[in-house]
Amino acid sequence: MIPSTARAQRPTPRRFIGYFVPCGIHMAAFTPMAEGADFALTPILEPLAAHRSNVMVLSGLANLPGRPDGAGDHAGGTGSFLTGRHCFKTESENIKNGVSVDQVMAQSAMGQATRISSLVIGTEGGSSVGGCDSGYSCAYSRNISWAGEATPVGKEVNPRSVFDRLFAGSDPTANAVQIEKRRLYKKSILDFVREDATRLQSKLAQTDRAKLDEYLTGVRELERQLTQAPVAQLCDVPAAPMRPMNVEQAVRHMTDLMVLALQCDQTRVVSFMLGNGGSNRPYPFLNIGEGHHELSHHQNNAENHRKLQIINTWEVGELARLLDRLKAVPEGDGTLLDSTLVFWSSEIEDGNAHRHTNLPIVLAGGARIGLRPGRHVVYRNGEPISNLFTTFLETMGIEAARFGDDGTGPLAGLT
């Protein structure tokens, strides 16, 4: 897809993708032996061979706030994946977390510059209500994006729905008068909804007013989107994706949509969950019939390790495909990958030990915005992952002295 003239003339923005994979990683086949620029790709990282100079592997970082109160490591680690906050243990409505780093970006000028402040997507659905992990709410296991301490940002798992959100209403044959007429019609409906809700607000109890405030925030976001340039003015609109037949197809559809969303400047902030925290999906297209979570409790069984390595290698292969697509989009004197920071990790280190230390982390891209990829960087003092998030914010031009429960400042060694 060739960007339009309008798109090409826009200043090069900075972008972020937070990419979550569930159930930890088989670390023995993941972690490089050598440090620095001379590291060799391990079996799980081998799919990244074509992007060796575009990636940075980080070892030794910890997300201690992800440790649960008792059991519940998957929920605790997933909920804190981008927040660096300890999740309050509950299966009821009184959930408590923190604002995730992607939503800090979305709420900043970075997010407000585009029609969609952030795109939150995944390939495994499920309600956020009730309990999912040893006394922890499903809200923690099924959401990595949080707009507030009690407000998870629900992900869209249907590729067609994501496409419609990005491109529906984009009619390249419509003239300027028709486009403006449609915009004013939609705005008039939102004006009525907002005014009616505002009148209702004074009559509600405090808890109901809080819920209405969240609703009105969504209405204001829609109003803001209507002021942005139509998609057809920014890039060519592609055909809608077909219904995915399996998980692999779903991931690839979402990958294509992520790239299109960034390329068309519909958003500059994306978060993606390949699966929910503690996902127990099987992978029949990999000839693996057992559930992922079941296998991750490997008990040091060699056959379980073999199957986990197959799953993890496929996951990294899908990351490589994302990087392929980003790198294929020219932008200025570089590519879309150069101006996009991709963060790839999991809720825990190892699925059997449930550790929240030495997390598996790959950073990709970002060469144009200050990162120095092509290295394996080792941290030996259990530095908090929240410091990495502080660096992310600084890289995006957002001031942040510290982040999360245990953050102390920016993480050294990345730029």
The mean pLDDT value for 308-325 works out to 99
Q: Which domain holds residue 19?
A: 5-170+240-395
Query: Is the domain of 114 the same as that of 194?
Result: no
pLDDT of residue 324 exceeding 90, the answer is yes
The token pair at 366 is 């970002």
Evaluate if residue 209 carries a pLDDT over 50. Answer: yes
- The answer to which of 37-46, 121-130, 232-241, 257-266 has the lowest mean pLDDT is 232-241
Each residue's pLDDT tens digit, 109-150: 999 999 999 999 999 999 999 999 999 999 999 999 999 999
Which of 21-30, 128-137, 216-225 bottoms out in mean pLDDT, i.e. has the lowest?
Answer: 216-225
- Arithmetic mean of pLDDT, 228-235: 59
330-331/334-335 β-pairing: antiparallel
User: What whole-number distance in Å separates Cα of residue 101 and Cα of residue 389?
Assistant: 6
Are 357 and 375 within one domain?
yes
**What are the pLDDT digits (tens) for 359-377?**
999 999 999 999 999 999 9
Q: What pLDDT is stored for residue 172 in this prediction?
A: 47
Do 195 and 293 lie in one domain? The reply is no
Say yes or no: 353 and 258 in one domain.
yes
What pTM does this model have? 0.87
The answer to whether residue 129 is domain-embedded is yes
Could you give the residue ranges of the DSSP H alpha helices within 297-351?
A: 302-327
Question: Is the Cβ–Cβ distance between 350 and 29 less than 8 Å?
Answer: no
Is residue 204 assigned to a domain?
yes
**pLDDT tier, 7 (very low <50, low <70, confident <90, very high otherwise):** very low
The answer to whether residue 413 is domain-embedded is no
Residues 109 and 221 occupy one common structural domain: no
Q: Which residue, 148, 274, 157, is CA-closest to 211?
A: 148
Which backbone phi and psi does 167 adopt, to 5 degrees?
-125, -10
Question: For residue 377, what are the contacts with CB-CB under 8 A and spacing of at least 6?
Answer: 35, 56, 57, 58, 59, 413, 414
CB 341 within 8 A of CB 14: yes
Q: Is 411 among the domain residues?
A: no
Percent of the chain with pLDDT over 90: 77
Assigned domain for 405 exists: no
The reply to whether 188 and 312 lie within a common domain is no
In the chain, pLDDT over 70 holds for what percent of residues?
Answer: 81
Residue with more model confidence, 313 or 206: 313
Lowest mean pLDDT among 9-13, 106-110, 185-189: 185-189
Alpha-carbon span 1 to 213, nearest angstrom: 39
Q: Which residue has the higher pLDDT, 39 or 214?
A: 39
In the structure, what pLDDT confidence band is assigned to residue 84 with cuts at 50, 70 and 90?
very high
Name the range with the highest mean pLDDT among 214-218, 241-245, 306-310: 306-310
Report helix, strand or coil for 122: strand
Q: What is the pLDDT of residue 238?
A: 81
Whether 378 shows a pLDDT value over 80: the answer reads yes
For the chain, the first-to-last Cα distance in angstroms comes to 32
**Do the domain assignments include residue 415?**
no
Residue 139 lies in a domain: yes
Q: Is 223 among the domain residues?
A: yes
Which residues neighbour 145 within 8 Å (Cβ) at sequence distance 6 or greater? 18, 82, 100, 102, 103, 118, 120, 152, 153, 155, 271
- Same domain for 21 and 43? yes
Give the number of domains in the chain.
2
246-298 pLDDT, tens digit per residue, is: 999 999 999 999 999 999 999 999 999 999 999 999 999 999 999 999 999 99
Give me the CATH number covering residue 66: 3.40.720.10
Together in a domain, 264 and 133: yes
The H or E element that residue 134 is part of is: none
pLDDT the model gives residue 239: 84
Same structural domain for residues 330 and 253? Answer: yes
| Domain match, 135 and 200 both | no
Considering the domain architecture, whether residues 255 and 385 belong to the same structural domain is answered as yes
Are residues 214 and 78 part of one domain?
Answer: no
Given a cut of 50, whether residue 8 has pLDDT beyond it is no
Looking at the predicted structure, is the pLDDT value of residue 16 above 50? Answer: yes
